[in-house]
Amino acid sequence: MGQEPYAILVGGPATGSDLYASGPGGEPVVPLTYSAVSELAPALAPDGDGVAFLRALSLVDSTPATVWVMDLRSGYEREIVLPKRAGIPAAVGWSGDGSLVIRSAGGLYRAETPFQGGRAAPVPVGRRAAADSALAVLLGDPVFARVVPCDGGTALCTEGRNGATAPLVSDAHGPVRWGRDSVAFFRGSALEIRPLGPGRPRALEWRERIRHPRAVTFFSPPAQFTR
């Protein structure tokens, strides 16, 4: 962990999904979680040694209810406690300093040291733009754009720093930054990796069958913007 590129993804049914780890070429898949409730929306930490994710409410309800972090070296898990007014969590992401950002129904929240302390606090107004970027799929190094949904959510576009958008791909979902020079997204249940510059896209096929693969997060050294 933290030295080689790898991915974490969600697999399994809507109720009872788990997290799996795999290399960038579809190497044998390793289960990371075994709980009866669903794990959702993973986001790898900037150093590649930890992952944040959402955990569902119950065995029969896949609605996200809690936020967790896992130390991938030890397997230790810790719940990140949100204020009661935060509401249902929707997404997690990481700032470059290793703090965890959470988007919930009640707004944006931040846990400064998620692996040492388990509470999150509201993001101050002046830091909300930076927190929002921590949850975005950023492209390039240096970053020149982000991926946003378009055409009513059935397609993906890029949005530049000036706010201008351009089509990226139709009929796709689940975009993820794939290192400094590529972007990946799902077309159906297949993950397509597309270079930002010259080159041809490729399809990633996992060597072990995963039921309904989705919600991929990717780490690639050096540890920068690895969501």
pLDDT digits (tens, 9 = 90+) for 91-115: 999 998 999 999 999 999 999 999 9
Residue 111 lies in a domain: yes
With a cut of 60, say whether residue 227 has pLDDT above it.
no
CATH number of the domain residue 177 falls in:
2.120.10
Report, as an integer, the average pLDDT of 69-88.
95
**Cβ neighbours, 10 Å, residue 83:** 14
Q: Whole-model pTM? A: 0.92
d(CA 166, CA 175): 15
**155, part of any domain:** yes
Asked if residues 14 and 62 have their Cβ atoms less than 8 Å apart, the reply is: yes
pLDDT of 19 > 70? The answer is yes
Has residue 62 got a pLDDT over 90?
Answer: no
Measured between alpha carbons, how far is 184 from 193 in angstroms, rounded to an integer? 4
The residue segments making up the domain with residue 121 are 6-219
Max avg pLDDT among 25-34, 137-146, 150-159: 137-146
* Percent of the chain surpassing pLDDT 90: 77
Mean per-residue pLDDT for 197-203? 93
pLDDT at 5 (0 to 100): 93
* Confidence at residue 33, expressed as pLDDT on a 0 to 100 scale: 93
Q: Provide the pLDDT for residue 223.
A: 45
pLDDT one-digit tens code per residue, 3-17: 789 999 999 988 889
Q: Is the pLDDT of residue 1 over 80?
A: no
Domain assignment present for residue 226? The answer is: no
| Cβ neighbours for 185, distance < 8 A, ≥ 6 positions apart | 147, 156, 168, 169, 172, 173, 174, 175, 176, 191, 192, 194
Task: State the greatest distance between any 2 C-alpha atoms of the chain, in Å, as a whole number.
Answer: 48
Flag whether pLDDT at 126 surpasses 50.
yes
Give the pLDDT confidence score for residue 224 in this predicted structure.
46
pLDDT digits (tens, 9 = 90+) for 157-187: 999 999 999 999 999 999 999 999 999 999 9
Q: How many CB atoms lie within 10 A of CB 140?
A: 16
pLDDT score, position 35: 86
Tell me what the pLDDT averaged over the chain comes to. 91
Q: Say if 195 falls within a structural domain.
A: yes
DSSP state of 83: P
Q: Which token pair is 60?
A: 């029969």
Q: What is the mean pLDDT of residues 32-50?
A: 94
2 pLDDT band, cuts 50/70/90, is low
Please report, in angstroms and rounded to a whole number, the separation of the first and last CA atoms in the chain.
Answer: 15
The verdict on residue 225 lying in a domain is: no
Across the range 127-147, mean pLDDT stands at 95
Quick one: pLDDT at residue 225? 41
**13: preceding bond cis by omega (within 30 degrees):** no
Is residue 227 assigned to a domain? no
Q: How many domains does the chain have?
A: 1
Angstrom CA distances, 68 to 39, 103, 106, 145, 186, stand at: 9, 13, 18, 29, 25
Determine, yes or no, domain membership for 160. Answer: yes
CA distance 96 to 15: 32
The yes-or-no verdict on residue 208 having pLDDT over 90 is no
Q: Is 101 part of any domain?
A: yes
pLDDT at residue 36 tops 70: yes
